[in-house]
Amino acid sequence: MESAIAWGLRNSDGVVALLGALAVGLLDLFGGGLGDNVVSGATLLVLAAVVYGSLAERRRRVVDIREATEGARQALENLASVRELAGVDLERALERARQDTDRWVFKGGTGTYLRAVTLPECVQEARRRRRALTVKIDIVHPGNEAVCAAYARFRGTFANRADGALGRNDTGWSVERTRKESYATVLAAAWYRQRLDTLEIDVHLSEVAPSLRFDVSASCLIITQDDPQRVSICVERGRPLYDYYVTELHHYREQAVKLDLRDTEPLGDDPTADEVRRLFEHLRIPLPTAFSDRDVSDIIDRALHAENPYRR
């Protein structure tokens, strides 16, 4: 019954014309002859219903066209919200992502670019604007030799090709280098936290070697790989894919080891080897006994003076 009523409302013009024609026909058939005025009036009624139906059909077509146009516009917007990045476009996208952001989420291997560019520039901007900054970092666990070995093997697969493309001479990825890079990111996080009271920074150590890097700001998500010859992806905030990955990255962090960077060992502007060793002891990720003071100095240099890996 409800469907019949709905159909009648959608096709009211045809129903009116049909009922008018039936009424006139039945009266003429069973009620004797009808006057000319009645016939003329009925004819006008039917013609009016036909005209109304034509106008209604035109309106429906306009609505259909508008809906189709809106659908096409939405599809184009969705396509525009996911962009491929290559070459210098990647650095420009990362630079735009850092502009006017009050948060940053990173998940990747050891966070070289994070230490070299993202963290110092975001901290500098937060200090200049006198505002809070929230940073969440998820990297490989330097105390887990197996995951460091897995990540080193993965990086070694692309090292020659990637570094050749960037014009760099690479010393090769090893378990030791992976551990140093990861320790350096932890050190950098603790060092910057002690120098900006409004910085809320968390470090999570994962026991699974990643193959992609994720950088999330308040405006977009950027997904990169260790091979610069492969394209990267940028997803604007407000799109479902952005929200999906933010949720996924949160889920990953929940399964990783979280470090407590509060009340850590004080670090000087130029940290000493002893300060760094005490820091990692306090965080319960002590440096390997085989690491000499020279190795610790190397970690300090990587933490506070890292080179931009995307610089050509």
Q: Which CATH number goes with the domain that contains 187?
A: 3.30.870.10
**Could you tell me the residue range of the domain that residue 71 belongs to?**
1-80
DSSP bridge partners of 84: 233
What's the total number of domains in the chain?
2
Pull the structure tokens for residue 280: 């990692």
107 and 145 both lie in a single domain: yes
160 and 221 both lie in a single domain: yes
169 and 296 both lie in a single domain: yes
Domain presence at residue 136: yes
**SS3 assignment, position 103:** strand
Pull the structure tokens for residue 19: 């009922």
Domain presence at residue 272: yes
Q: DSSP labels for 132-180?
A: -EEEEEEEE-TT-HHHHHHHHHHHHHHHHHHHHHTT-------HHHHHH
126 DSSP 8-state letter: H
Cβ-Cβ contacts under 8 Å for 302 (sequence gap 6 or more):
112, 115, 180, 181, 184
pLDDT of residue 164: 44
182 and 243 both lie in a single domain: yes
C-alpha–C-alpha distance, residues 125 and 145, integer Å: 36
181 and 272 both lie in a single domain: yes
27 and 89 both lie in a single domain: no
Domain end position, chosen among 20, 53, 80? 80
163 and 235 both lie in a single domain: yes
188 and 62 both lie in a single domain: no
97 and 231 both lie in a single domain: yes
| Cβ neighbourhood burial of 172 (10 Å; 0-12, 13-18, 19+) | exposed
pLDDT of residue 85: 86
CB 113 within 8 A of CB 81: no
Domain end position, chosen among 25, 49, 80? 80
In the chain, the amino acid numbered 13 is: D
CB 103 within 8 A of CB 133: yes
What is the gyration radius of the CA atoms in the chain, in angstroms? 34
Q: Which long-range contacts (CB under 8 A, 24 or more apart) does 27-31 make?
A: none
pLDDT of residue 108: 96
49 and 187 both lie in a single domain: no
Domain presence at residue 311: no
C-alpha–C-alpha distance, residues 136 and 189, integer Å: 10
129 and 218 both lie in a single domain: yes
Domain presence at residue 312: no
| Phi, psi (rounded to 5 degrees) for 129 | -90, -5
pLDDT of residue 117: 96
Beta strand 82-85 pairing with 199-206: unpaired
C-alpha–C-alpha distance, residues 308 and 312, integer Å: 9
130 and 226 both lie in a single domain: yes
Domain presence at residue 310: no
CB 39 within 8 A of CB 25: no
Domain presence at residue 280: yes
Per-residue pLDDT of the chain (312 residues; tens, 9 = 90+): 666 565 555 556 555 555 655 565 555 545 555 555 555 555 555 555 555 566 566 666 656 666 655 555 554 445 556 888 887 888 899 999 999 899 999 999 999 999 999 999 999 999 999 999 999 999 999 999 999 999 999 988 866 554 444 444 455 899 999 999 999 999 999 999 999 999 999 999 999 999 999 999 999 999 998 776 778 999 999 999 999 999 999 999 999 999 999 888 899 999 999 999 999 999 999 999 999 999 999 999 999 999 988 776
